[in-house]
Amino acid sequence: MKLSSHLKGACVLGAACAAFALPASAAVTGSAGLGVHVWDAGYRDTDAQVWPVPAMDVETDHFYFKGLEAGGFLIKTDAHRLMLGVSYMGLGFDAGDSDDARMKKLDDRDGSFFANVTYAWRSPLGQITASIGADISGKSEGFMSDVSWMKRFEVAGFGLTPQAGLLLTSEKFNDYYYGISQAESARSGLAAYGADAGVSPYFRLIGDYRITKSISVYAEGAMRVLSDEIKDSPMVEGSVAYGFGAGVSYHF
Protein backbone atom coordinates (compact mmCIF):
# COMPACT_ATOMS: atom_id res chain seq x y z
CA MET A 1 0.00 0.00 0.00
CA LYS A 2 1.23 3.49 -0.86
CA LEU A 3 0.38 5.09 2.46
CA SER A 4 3.71 6.88 2.96
CA SER A 5 3.56 8.77 -0.36
CA HIS A 6 0.08 10.10 0.41
CA LEU A 7 1.17 11.16 3.88
CA LYS A 8 4.08 13.04 2.31
CA GLY A 9 1.74 14.79 -0.09
CA ALA A 10 -0.59 15.77 2.75
CA CYS A 11 2.33 17.14 4.76
CA VAL A 12 3.57 19.24 1.84
CA LEU A 13 0.15 20.82 1.37
CA GLY A 14 -0.17 21.30 5.12
CA ALA A 15 3.07 23.26 5.11
CA ALA A 16 1.80 25.34 2.20
CA CYS A 17 -1.37 26.11 4.13
CA ALA A 18 0.59 27.16 7.19
CA ALA A 19 2.85 29.32 5.06
CA PHE A 20 0.31 31.35 3.07
CA ALA A 21 -3.31 30.23 3.54
CA LEU A 22 -3.74 31.16 7.19
CA PRO A 23 -2.18 34.57 7.87
CA ALA A 24 -2.62 35.63 11.47
CA SER A 25 -4.55 38.79 10.57
CA ALA A 26 -7.12 37.02 8.37
CA ALA A 27 -10.62 36.00 9.41
CA VAL A 28 -10.60 32.21 9.25
CA THR A 29 -13.74 30.09 8.89
CA GLY A 30 -14.30 26.40 8.33
CA SER A 31 -13.17 23.13 9.87
CA ALA A 32 -10.04 21.05 10.33
CA GLY A 33 -9.58 17.40 11.14
CA LEU A 34 -8.27 14.08 9.90
CA GLY A 35 -9.70 11.22 7.90
CA VAL A 36 -8.62 7.88 6.49
CA HIS A 37 -9.67 6.98 2.96
CA VAL A 38 -9.39 3.73 1.00
CA TRP A 39 -9.35 3.74 -2.80
CA ASP A 40 -9.30 0.81 -5.23
CA ALA A 41 -8.17 2.16 -8.62
CA GLY A 42 -8.92 -1.09 -10.42
CA TYR A 43 -5.35 -2.32 -10.93
CA ARG A 44 -5.19 -6.07 -11.50
CA ASP A 45 -4.77 -8.15 -8.31
CA THR A 46 -3.59 -5.10 -6.39
CA ASP A 47 -4.57 -4.01 -2.88
CA ALA A 48 -6.55 -0.83 -2.37
CA GLN A 49 -4.59 2.27 -1.42
CA VAL A 50 -4.92 3.71 2.09
CA TRP A 51 -4.74 7.50 2.29
CA PRO A 52 -4.42 9.57 5.47
CA VAL A 53 -6.23 12.73 4.41
CA PRO A 54 -6.56 16.07 6.19
CA ALA A 55 -10.29 16.69 6.59
CA MET A 56 -9.87 20.39 5.86
CA ASP A 57 -12.31 23.03 4.65
CA VAL A 58 -10.69 26.31 5.67
CA GLU A 59 -11.17 29.75 4.10
CA THR A 60 -10.01 33.32 4.55
CA ASP A 61 -11.08 36.23 2.37
CA HIS A 62 -8.30 35.42 -0.09
CA PHE A 63 -7.06 31.86 0.52
CA TYR A 64 -8.42 28.36 1.03
CA PHE A 65 -7.28 24.89 2.08
CA LYS A 66 -9.69 22.08 1.15
CA GLY A 67 -8.82 18.40 1.37
CA LEU A 68 -5.54 17.98 -0.49
CA GLU A 69 -5.64 21.35 -2.21
CA ALA A 70 -4.43 24.79 -1.13
CA GLY A 71 -4.76 28.00 -3.09
CA GLY A 72 -6.23 31.46 -3.46
CA PHE A 73 -9.44 33.12 -4.63
CA LEU A 74 -9.26 35.22 -7.78
CA ILE A 75 -12.98 35.96 -7.37
CA LYS A 76 -15.04 35.28 -4.24
CA THR A 77 -18.70 36.22 -3.92
CA ASP A 78 -21.69 34.42 -2.44
CA ALA A 79 -22.57 32.94 -5.83
CA HIS A 80 -19.31 32.87 -7.80
CA ARG A 81 -15.81 31.68 -6.98
CA LEU A 82 -12.76 31.49 -9.21
CA MET A 83 -9.81 29.73 -7.61
CA LEU A 84 -6.18 28.98 -8.41
CA GLY A 85 -4.62 26.17 -6.37
CA VAL A 86 -2.18 23.31 -6.08
CA SER A 87 -3.38 19.81 -5.17
CA TYR A 88 -1.91 16.39 -4.51
CA MET A 89 -3.37 13.67 -6.76
CA GLY A 90 -2.78 10.39 -4.96
CA LEU A 91 -3.44 7.85 -7.71
CA GLY A 92 -0.50 5.46 -7.95
CA PHE A 93 0.62 1.91 -8.56
CA ASP A 94 3.23 -0.02 -6.57
CA ALA A 95 4.24 -3.11 -8.53
CA GLY A 96 5.18 -4.89 -5.31
CA ASP A 97 1.58 -4.64 -4.06
CA SER A 98 0.15 -6.77 -6.86
CA ASP A 99 -0.42 -10.51 -6.47
CA ASP A 100 -0.06 -10.96 -10.24
CA ALA A 101 3.48 -12.07 -11.17
CA ARG A 102 3.28 -10.12 -14.44
CA MET A 103 2.17 -6.90 -12.75
CA LYS A 104 5.11 -7.15 -10.36
CA LYS A 105 7.45 -6.64 -13.33
CA LEU A 106 5.93 -3.30 -14.36
CA ASP A 107 7.21 0.13 -13.39
CA ASP A 108 5.71 1.94 -10.39
CA ARG A 109 3.39 4.90 -10.98
CA ASP A 110 3.63 7.73 -8.44
CA GLY A 111 1.19 10.31 -7.15
CA SER A 112 1.62 13.83 -8.50
CA PHE A 113 0.98 17.51 -7.85
CA PHE A 114 -1.45 19.46 -10.04
CA ALA A 115 -1.95 23.18 -10.63
CA ASN A 116 -5.70 23.81 -10.90
CA VAL A 117 -8.05 26.54 -12.06
CA THR A 118 -11.55 26.05 -10.63
CA TYR A 119 -14.84 27.89 -11.06
CA ALA A 120 -17.78 27.24 -8.72
CA TRP A 121 -21.33 28.58 -9.00
CA ARG A 122 -23.55 28.31 -5.94
CA SER A 123 -27.35 28.47 -6.04
CA PRO A 124 -30.30 27.10 -4.04
CA LEU A 125 -30.26 24.13 -6.42
CA GLY A 126 -26.73 23.18 -5.46
CA GLN A 127 -23.18 23.91 -6.54
CA ILE A 128 -21.81 23.39 -10.03
CA THR A 129 -18.03 23.18 -10.23
CA ALA A 130 -15.73 23.06 -13.25
CA SER A 131 -11.97 22.69 -13.03
CA ILE A 132 -8.92 21.93 -15.13
CA GLY A 133 -5.57 20.84 -13.72
CA ALA A 134 -2.12 20.19 -15.16
CA ASP A 135 0.55 17.91 -13.70
CA ILE A 136 3.40 20.12 -12.45
CA SER A 137 5.46 17.34 -10.86
CA GLY A 138 6.74 15.81 -14.11
CA LYS A 139 5.11 12.41 -13.57
CA SER A 140 2.48 12.03 -16.29
CA GLU A 141 2.76 15.58 -17.68
CA GLY A 142 -0.96 15.20 -18.39
CA PHE A 143 -4.07 17.06 -17.32
CA MET A 144 -7.48 16.41 -15.80
CA SER A 145 -10.75 18.28 -16.21
CA ASP A 146 -13.73 17.84 -13.90
CA VAL A 147 -17.35 19.04 -14.01
CA SER A 148 -19.72 18.18 -11.15
CA TRP A 149 -22.90 19.04 -9.28
CA MET A 150 -23.38 18.67 -5.52
CA LYS A 151 -25.88 19.75 -2.87
CA ARG A 152 -26.06 19.22 0.88
CA PHE A 153 -29.33 18.22 2.55
CA GLU A 154 -29.80 18.35 6.33
CA VAL A 155 -32.34 16.62 8.56
CA ALA A 156 -32.22 16.60 12.38
CA GLY A 157 -28.49 17.27 12.55
CA PHE A 158 -27.60 14.72 9.88
CA GLY A 159 -26.19 15.99 6.60
CA LEU A 160 -26.24 14.15 3.28
CA THR A 161 -24.36 15.43 0.22
CA PRO A 162 -24.65 13.68 -3.14
CA GLN A 163 -22.20 14.62 -5.89
CA ALA A 164 -22.23 13.55 -9.54
CA GLY A 165 -19.71 14.46 -12.20
CA LEU A 166 -17.59 13.70 -15.22
CA LEU A 167 -13.80 13.39 -15.10
CA LEU A 168 -11.76 13.82 -18.28
CA THR A 169 -8.20 12.49 -18.15
CA SER A 170 -5.75 13.23 -20.96
CA GLU A 171 -3.81 10.81 -23.13
CA LYS A 172 -0.55 11.44 -21.25
CA PHE A 173 -2.28 10.98 -17.88
CA ASN A 174 -3.91 7.70 -18.88
CA ASP A 175 -0.79 6.41 -20.58
CA TYR A 176 1.36 7.05 -17.49
CA TYR A 177 -1.03 5.40 -15.03
CA TYR A 178 -2.43 2.64 -17.25
CA GLY A 179 -0.16 2.26 -20.29
CA ILE A 180 2.42 -0.51 -20.78
CA SER A 181 5.60 0.24 -22.69
CA GLN A 182 7.31 -2.18 -25.07
CA ALA A 183 10.07 -2.72 -22.50
CA GLU A 184 7.53 -3.49 -19.74
CA SER A 185 5.68 -5.84 -22.08
CA ALA A 186 8.86 -7.73 -22.95
CA ARG A 187 9.77 -8.43 -19.32
CA SER A 188 6.26 -8.97 -17.94
CA GLY A 189 4.40 -10.85 -20.64
CA LEU A 190 1.51 -8.35 -20.59
CA ALA A 191 0.58 -6.84 -23.94
CA ALA A 192 1.95 -3.38 -24.71
CA TYR A 193 -0.75 -0.74 -24.39
CA GLY A 194 -1.00 2.96 -25.18
CA ALA A 195 -4.00 4.76 -23.69
CA ASP A 196 -5.92 7.65 -25.22
CA ALA A 197 -7.86 10.37 -23.41
CA GLY A 198 -11.14 9.33 -21.82
CA VAL A 199 -14.15 10.48 -19.79
CA SER A 200 -15.24 8.70 -16.59
CA PRO A 201 -18.56 9.48 -14.85
CA TYR A 202 -18.55 9.28 -11.06
CA PHE A 203 -20.85 9.49 -8.06
CA ARG A 204 -20.01 10.35 -4.46
CA LEU A 205 -22.15 10.39 -1.32
CA ILE A 206 -21.05 12.08 1.91
CA GLY A 207 -22.82 11.78 5.25
CA ASP A 208 -22.00 13.93 8.27
CA TYR A 209 -23.26 14.40 11.80
CA ARG A 210 -22.55 17.26 14.21
CA ILE A 211 -21.83 15.67 17.62
CA THR A 212 -21.36 19.02 19.34
CA LYS A 213 -21.25 22.63 18.17
CA SER A 214 -17.56 22.18 17.38
CA ILE A 215 -17.12 18.48 16.55
CA SER A 216 -18.53 16.51 13.64
CA VAL A 217 -17.87 13.14 12.02
CA TYR A 218 -18.28 12.11 8.40
CA ALA A 219 -18.31 9.04 6.19
CA GLU A 220 -18.33 8.84 2.41
CA GLY A 221 -18.41 6.44 -0.49
CA ALA A 222 -17.51 6.99 -4.14
CA MET A 223 -17.53 5.07 -7.38
CA ARG A 224 -16.11 5.93 -10.81
CA VAL A 225 -17.01 4.13 -14.03
CA LEU A 226 -13.70 3.75 -15.83
CA SER A 227 -13.49 5.02 -19.39
CA ASP A 228 -12.91 2.47 -22.15
CA GLU A 229 -9.35 3.79 -22.53
CA ILE A 230 -8.61 2.85 -18.91
CA LYS A 231 -10.55 -0.39 -18.51
CA ASP A 232 -9.07 -1.79 -21.75
CA SER A 233 -5.58 -1.64 -20.24
CA PRO A 234 -4.06 -5.04 -19.36
CA MET A 235 -3.20 -3.46 -16.00
CA VAL A 236 -6.89 -3.11 -15.11
CA GLU A 237 -9.56 -5.61 -14.11
CA GLY A 238 -13.19 -4.61 -13.93
CA SER A 239 -14.82 -1.39 -15.05
CA VAL A 240 -15.44 0.46 -11.77
CA ALA A 241 -13.09 2.10 -9.28
CA TYR A 242 -14.43 2.68 -5.79
CA GLY A 243 -13.49 4.13 -2.44
CA PHE A 244 -14.74 5.02 1.01
CA GLY A 245 -13.53 7.03 3.96
CA ALA A 246 -14.34 8.43 7.38
CA GLY A 247 -13.01 11.13 9.67
CA VAL A 248 -13.58 13.74 12.34
CA SER A 249 -13.55 17.55 12.10
CA TYR A 250 -13.32 20.50 14.48
CA HIS A 251 -15.36 23.58 13.43
CA PHE A 252 -14.33 27.14 14.24
pLDDT tens digits, residue range 51-68?
888 899 999 999 999 989
Q: What angle do CA 209, 221, 132 make, to 5 degrees?
A: 105
First to last CA, the chain: 34
Measured CA to CA, the distance from residue 228 to residue 199 in angstroms comes to 8
DSSP-based three-state secondary structure for 13: helix
Q: Band of the pLDDT at 9, cuts 50, 70, 90?
A: low
Q: pLDDT tens-digit profile of 152-191? A: 999 888 999 999 999 999 999 999 999 999 999 999 999 9
From the list 100, 105, 92, the residue with the least C-alpha distance to 50 is 92
CA distance 21 to 251: 17
Share of the chain above pLDDT 70, in %: 90
Quote the pLDDT of residue 157. 82
Per residue in 24-55, pLDDT (tens digit) is: 445 788 999 999 999 999 999 998 888 888 89
Any bridge partners for residue 128, and if so which? Answer: 121, 149
pTM of the model: 0.87
